[in-house]
Amino acid sequence: MQLIDGKAISDQVKQEIAAEVEQIKAAGGKIPHLAAILVGHDGGSETYVAHKVKSCEQVGFKSTLIRFEDNATEQQILDKVNELNNDADVDGFIVQLPLPKHINEQKVIEAIDYRKDVDGFHPINVGRMSIGLPCFVSATPAGIMELLKRYNIDTKGKHCVVLGRSNIVGKPVANLMMAKTNPGNATVTICHSYSSDLKEQCLKADIIIAALGVPEFLKGDMVKPGATVIDVGTTRVPSTLTKSGFKLTGDVKFDEVAPKCAFITPVPGGVGPMTIVSLLKNTLLAGKKEIYK
């Protein structure tokens, strides 16, 4: 069994991005600039955004954090989105989700100029990815593909089972795994809460991507020997063993599943760190106008 070290790979990708930013600087080019809108003080969101800002600094990007209180109106957020759309210095920006319930998330996402939508959530980017056109691919699916690529995990013609059909992980990663690319070209099965044959499907899978958000869902008796398992789960489970009072728990019962695997990602330190570097990569692409002019 080989552990897929998302932390090490993400550090490597960050170094590559930092080197490219150095070159851009040396050539007198424009430093990529990522802006983030954060509404309220949700603990998870605060942590994620802090990581994103810190990562921007690490690779030499310019970053801007724009804060609103919980009681900000939808119109205030839409106005800020519009302002960032028109700010030539901002190459890409994100609105950290979830938003407070009185704000329509979909409306906000669709208000973002797709050419600055480095989260890849705008329908144009989703559609372009589905068709196989250049676009901003959302961060988690892109991070998973990068891990498979850097570990030279063979996907062509393999059977990949994706657990979960969410818009931000399950559906897009299924799309990427079946695409005419490398990694890609896999036979892809998408299972979800209604799947009656989920265990049977998993037992035949060469690659399992678990993105249900159900802690320790995937057990040892659901995985065939030699499989590759990618764990996207990051549920906060109460714990007396940590200072914070919780621990991040994946969708995979690691102690049972890991011994059977050829490759497996841990939680934390697997897919998680890759998510942020995917966002950085998109921002670099936005800065260089490589996807859209």
Q: Are 36 and 49 in contact (CB under 8 A)?
A: yes
CB of 45 to a second copy, least distance (A): 21
Look up 12 and say whether it is catalytic.
Answer: no
* Cβ 263 vs Cβ 253: under 8 Å: no
- Which token pair is 146? 């990068």
Q: Could you say which of 5, 91, 119, 206 is catalytic?
A: 119
Kindly provide the residue ranges of all beta strands, DSSP E only, lying in the chain, ordered along the sequence: 2-3, 33-39, 62-68, 92-95, 159-163, 187-191, 207-210, 228-231, 235-238, 246-249, 263-264
| Closer residue to a second copy (CB): 186 or 267 | 186
For a second copy, the closer CB: 267 or 291 = 291
Based on CB atoms, which residue is closest to a second copy, 106 or 152? 106
Cβ 180 to a second copy, closest distance in Å?
8
Q: Which of 5, 14, 91, 96 is catalytic?
A: 96
Q: Which is nearer to a second copy, 64 or 195 (CB)?
A: 195
Report CA-CA distances (Å) from 33 to 48, 59, 85, 102, 178.
Answer: 18, 11, 13, 29, 32
Q: Are strands 228-231 and 263-264 parallel, antiparallel or unpaired?
A: parallel
Instruction: Give the shortest CB-156-to-a second copy separation in angstroms.
Output: 6
Is there a contact between 68 and 99 (Cβ–Cβ < 8 Å)? no
Among 5, 14, 52, 206, the active-site one is 52
- Which is nearer to a second copy, 49 or 124 (by Cβ)? 124
Cβ at position 67, least distance to a second copy in Å: 28
State yes or no: is 76 an active-site residue: no
Min dist CB 145 to a second copy, Å, is 16
> Minimum distance between the CB of residue 135 and a second copy, rounded to whole angstroms?
8
78: three-class secondary structure by DSSP? helix
Is 219 noted as a catalytic residue in this protein?
A: no
Residues 6 or more apart in contact with residue 22 via CB below 8 angstroms: 60
62 vs 171 by CB, closer to a second copy: 171
Instruction: Kindly give the pairing relationship between strand 62-68 and strand 2-3.
Output: unpaired
What is the binding site for a second copy (CB under 8 A)? 106, 122-128, 130-133, 156-159, 165, 167, 171, 174-175, 178, 185-192, 194-198, 200-201, 204
Cα–Cα distance, 143 to 215 (Å, whole number): 21
Token pair, residue 224, equals 């065939």
Active site residues: 52, 96, 119
